[in-house]
Amino acid sequence: MRAGALVIPSSAESVFDRRSLLAGAGALLLAGSGAFAQSAKQSFPAWVEGFRARARARGISDAVYDRVTRTLKPDMSVFAKESAQPEFREELWQYLNRRISEWRLVTGRAAAKKHAALLKRLEADYGVAPDVLLGLWGMESAFGELVDDPDHMKPVFASLGALAWGEPRRRKYWETEFLNALVIVQRGWATPEEMRGSWAGAMGHTQWMPEVWLNVGTDFDGDGRISPYDVDDALAGSAIYLIKRGRYQRGIPWGFEVTMAGLPDKLADARTVRTVEVWQGLGVKPAAGRFAYPKASARLWAPVGTDGPCFLLTQNFYAVKSYNPSMNYALAVCHLGDRVLGDPPFKTPFPGGERALTLAEVQEVQKRLTAAGFDTGGTDGRVGNMTMRAVRNFQEKVGLAPADGYASLDVLDALRKGR
């Protein structure tokens, strides 16, 4: 595939780009409709009362069930969010630029420094390297910045209740997650009010669904409860997830950037497994330095063709992919973690790509857009959906094509010129 052909759906922030449900990521790839709620066979209060028997069968006390449901109202916005088509589409270099922004790197480096001892303990106990955990944390909640953000995190029971009641095609899945959330309250791990998450019910620093909280979570900080809202528990639980469900392997990196000059594209099928030394014998070369881990098994991937960055991917890349079934997501996670820990950008540039705006430049774009009447939702240098909509609306107004919502150097130049 050549540069320019690959585009990637995007939405508000990293964790919400392709919603990582951990255990149930595929459930969110459905086409839904707000009409599902209207077509429910019974009213929401009737459904709540009828569902009590399911909760009792799961061991939920009437006291807990009443506490959760007494004033519960379905969050009807979930149906539109589930069915919404991607509003923006990005090429891979844009996808990476926005998620591995200077704002995120600065925030991530501060988080890595603050939690250095924790990351060291996690690597010793589980074998999961700090770069991978930092990359997941950064993508899923911007290093905790989004955990308490009311624009992103909503009451989980209102979301899951609405989906369990009104979304028929995956009702069993949503009913099970509603029950799992009730079990969490029953165990005393969280109150209903504390359980806030994405529209689909993913919670905390590394965005656990209730099933993951129950089955993969661990009380790493020793406070007597398991919580994805505690950094220690969140990162430890995600390390366990990568090992148990992603088959993460201790002691090897996620992969290597390579070059394929003169080699056929068909070699980079991202399926064929060979050792690093066999790939080297076929003519694959490291993009910088020398190959390490010659006996490690790896697959070759050229996401935009052999003229762009190419990669040998170990099992640990696919462990990250188990968190979210997207190659591009996994690449962003892995590269973000590397960059937070001081590694440089990819050696080979993306054909047709451009550098990411600096933090100061992004803030300047936001300030100029705001002054021009386009609401960016803030001027902190973090690019989310509001900033992207503002950019797209500006592009459309001044005739700057493509109107893709990407804050590019051309957008900044047009704003400076007062177009």
* pLDDT of 90: 85
pLDDT tens for residues 354-412? 999 999 999 999 999 999 999 999 999 998 888 999 999 999 999 999 999 999 999 99
List pLDDT tens digits, range 274-318: 999 999 999 999 999 899 999 999 999 999 999 999 999 999 999
Segment holding 244, helix H or strand E: helix 231-244
Reported as a single tens digit per residue, the pLDDT across 69-89 is 999 999 998 887 766 545 567
Contact partners, residue 343, CB within 8 Å, separation at least 6: none
Strands (E), 147-210: 154-155, 196-197
User: CATH for 20-84+150-205?
Assistant: 1.10.8.350
| CA 52 centroid distance within chain | 33
Rounded percentage of the chain residues whose pLDDT exceeds 70:
89
Chain mean position to CA 389: 20
| Percent of the chain with pLDDT strictly greater than 90 | 81
For tokens 């807990």, the residue is 64
Q: Is the CB of residue 141 less than 8 Å from the CB of residue 336?
A: no
The burial of 289, by beta-carbon neighbours within 10 Å (0-12 exposed, 13-18 middle, 19 or more buried), is given as exposed
pLDDT-based confidence at 60, cuts 50/70/90?
very high
3-state helix, strand and coil shares in percent for the chain, rounded to the nearest 5: 50, 10, 40
Residue ranges of the chain assigned to CATH 1.10.8.350? 20-84+150-205
Mean predicted confidence (pLDDT) in 312-337: 97
